[in-house]
Structure 1
Amino acid sequence: MSTVNISAYKFISLDDLPMLRERVLEHCTALALKGTVLLAPEGINLFLAGSRMAIDEFVAWLHADHRFADIVPKESLSDAPPFGRMRVRLKKEIITMRLPTVRPEGGRAPAVDALTLQRWLAQGHDDDGRELLMLDTRNEYETAIGAFDDAVDYRLASFTGFPGAIAADRERYAGKTVVSYCTGGIRCEKAALHMQDLGMPHVYQLDGGILRYLEQTDGAHWHGDCFVFDERGAVDPTLAPALRSDP
């Protein structure tokens, strides 16, 4: 497989969006990268594909901007770029929730890394002995093709439905440790912060999302494939393009 696919995001205040858009697009085009970069006042969200050399050069260029110096992309491989073109888009939010009070840049919710989560799942509880509950924050078409064992799934049509769903179901989480998860970490970060705002005390996000979990573990406690937002449709637990791309 000759194409390197990366995804990454960071919540960081950006006030030079038109100029930044032009710089990102110019650099990606020069490196023959394909994919999508979303820019918003709250940060950056990117999905890119290209040769190993081109990806490494872009990441080095990105890291040269102090605002993005700590971004660690998630990687997978494919035989060809799973994008038809290169786009850099300006958005109101890099992940739409429509809750202005949720501002991840002001302080992240606690995160649990992949290896710790795998251990918790094997134990059935966290290190303090609290029952563990996995919460899927993705949309219905994503959850249909893969999920963690026994995860709560609200069958959302879009992420904007998450606040209403969680507000109507708070009793389920009483006394439990909740780990919210999503594909790459961006949705579950906002979800965990919102749950904290609701007064839920033992809430974590899965750091790096499902993709990081599959990258760093043997995939135990995960069943099925992981939906991705490109022409691959989904990746299997080894992060290779799945044989099927539809639920």
Structure 2
Amino acid sequence: MQPNSAIINIAAYKFVTFDDTEAKRPVFLDKCNELSLKGTILLSPEGINLFLAGVRDNIHAFLTWLRSDARFADLEVKESLSDDQPFNKMLVKLKREIITMKHPLIKPELGRAPAVEAHTLKRWLDQGHDDDGKPVVMMDTRNDFEVDVGTFDNTLDYRITKFSEFPEVVASHKDELEGKTVVTFCTGGIRCEKAAIYMKDVGYDSVYQLEGGILKYFEEVGGAHYTGDCFVFDHRTALNPQLEPSAQTATCPNCKNAVTPREQLAPEYIAGQTCPHCPQH
């Protein structure tokens, strides 16, 4: 059993109509400060996205408070542990979208694309095809630097630098994936939620989103068919398939990029100073 003093890290999102974000921003901030939580909450007309850390009792109190709002009563949370607080401050931000795609007609609240659970996906990858016999192709919807830290084996990686690039790129590759089942994935599920809907809209006939993303997959089946760690946007930098902070991946204090073990061998890498991603290189 984990000690009660351990820091609990939670990630959660929900697409839901949220038209009082401006009024709620100070309320959310006050509640988090009252409970000594740190992290980031994004409030948007399309929903909520949050990454928070604190002691278990305070995390539980926050979730109880949040779920008392009927809009968030069924909010699902992914959880991991750390010895220390991975965030420096508590931020509550107002955004147009909780994940920026710049396609306002994509509204997950109105209906999701089909989702595949972690155990089913592992079985498909074990056998090399889905239950209809179609080859399974994994498609990473994250930014290139996140993919470099770790991803599913033999995944499609289009080297995007921001999510708003995804629609044009994926539409241009549709013909190559004819007759295959595509599974989109990301860290916690939020990107692939929009990605899979868009792909259905532009004519992909067999596309799924990985339910809960990589973190849920790690939680339920471990690291099968996955190589490396999963990048996270806090001071832990990356989590391994046991949902523990990776001792291998570092964060460059100069450019804030993740630095993989291979990149740490480069001559441009000076621990705590510079790395191969820094602009001067």
**Both proteins in one fold, TM over 0.5:** yes
Cα distance in 2 for partners of 1:185, 1:172 equals: 24
Matched, 1:128 2:132: yes
RMSD between aligned alpha carbons?
0.9
Partner of 1:91: 95
Moved over 3 A (4+): none
Which residue type is aligned with residue 129 of structure 1?
G
> Pick from 141, 161, 183: which aligns with 1:179?
183
Partner of 1:58: 62
Which residue type is aligned with residue 16 of structure 1?
D
Matched, 1:109 2:108: no
Tell me the CA shift for residue 22 of structure 1: 1.6
For residues 60-96 of structure 1, give each alpha carbon's deviation from its aligned partner in whole angstroms, at most 9, with x where no partner exists: 1111111011111100000111100000000010000
> Pick from 19, 22, 30: which aligns with 2:23?
19
Matched, 1:153 2:157: yes
Please state whether the residue corresponding to 1:164 is helix, strand or coil: helix
Cα distance in 1 for partners of 2:26, 2:114 equals: 34
Tell me the CA shift for residue 101 of structure 1: 1.4
**Runs of 5+ consecutive residues of structure 2 not aligned to the other structure:** 251-258, 261-281
For residues 101-126 of structure 1, give each alpha carbon's deviation from its aligned partner in whole angstroms, at most 9, with x where no partner exists: 11111101111111111111101111
TM-score, normalization by structure 2 = 0.86
Identity %: 55
Tell me the CA shift for residue 178 of structure 1: 0.6
Equivalent residues in 2 for 1:1-40, closer than 5 Å: 2-40=6-44
Please state whether the residue corresponding to 1:219 is helix, strand or coil: coil
Partner of 2:230: 226
Tell me the CA shift for residue 52 of structure 1: 0.6
Cα distance in 1 for partners of 2:229, 2:68 equals: 35
For residues 202-238 of structure 1, give each alpha carbon's deviation from its aligned partner in whole angstroms, at most 9, with x where no partner exists: 1100010000000111220011000001111111111
Please state whether the residue corresponding to 1:108 is helix, strand or coil: coil
Matched, 1:241 2:245: yes
Please state whether the residue corresponding to 1:237 is helix, strand or coil: coil
Cα distance in 2 for partners of 1:173, 1:228 equals: 29
Please state whether the residue corresponding to 2:76 is helix, strand or coil: coil
Cα distance in 1 for partners of 2:80, 2:222 equals: 15
Tell me the CA shift for residue 174 of structure 1: 0.4
Tell me the CA shift for residue 26 of structure 1: 1.1
Cα distance in 2 for partners of 1:208, 1:82 equals: 21
**Runs of 5+ consecutive residues of structure 1 not aligned to the other structure:** none
Which residue type is aligned with residue 158 of structure 1?
K
For residues 165-222 of structure 1, give each alpha carbon's deviation from its aligned partner in whole angstroms, at most 9, with x where no partner exists: 1121111210111100000000011000000000111110001000000011122001
Cα distance in 2 for partners of 1:234, 1:151 equals: 19
Cα distance in 2 for partners of 1:219, 1:119 equals: 13
Partner of 2:263: none
Partner of 1:170: 174
Is the radius of gyration larger for structure 1 or structure 2?
Answer: 2
TM-score, normalization by structure 1 = 0.98
Partner of 2:79: 75
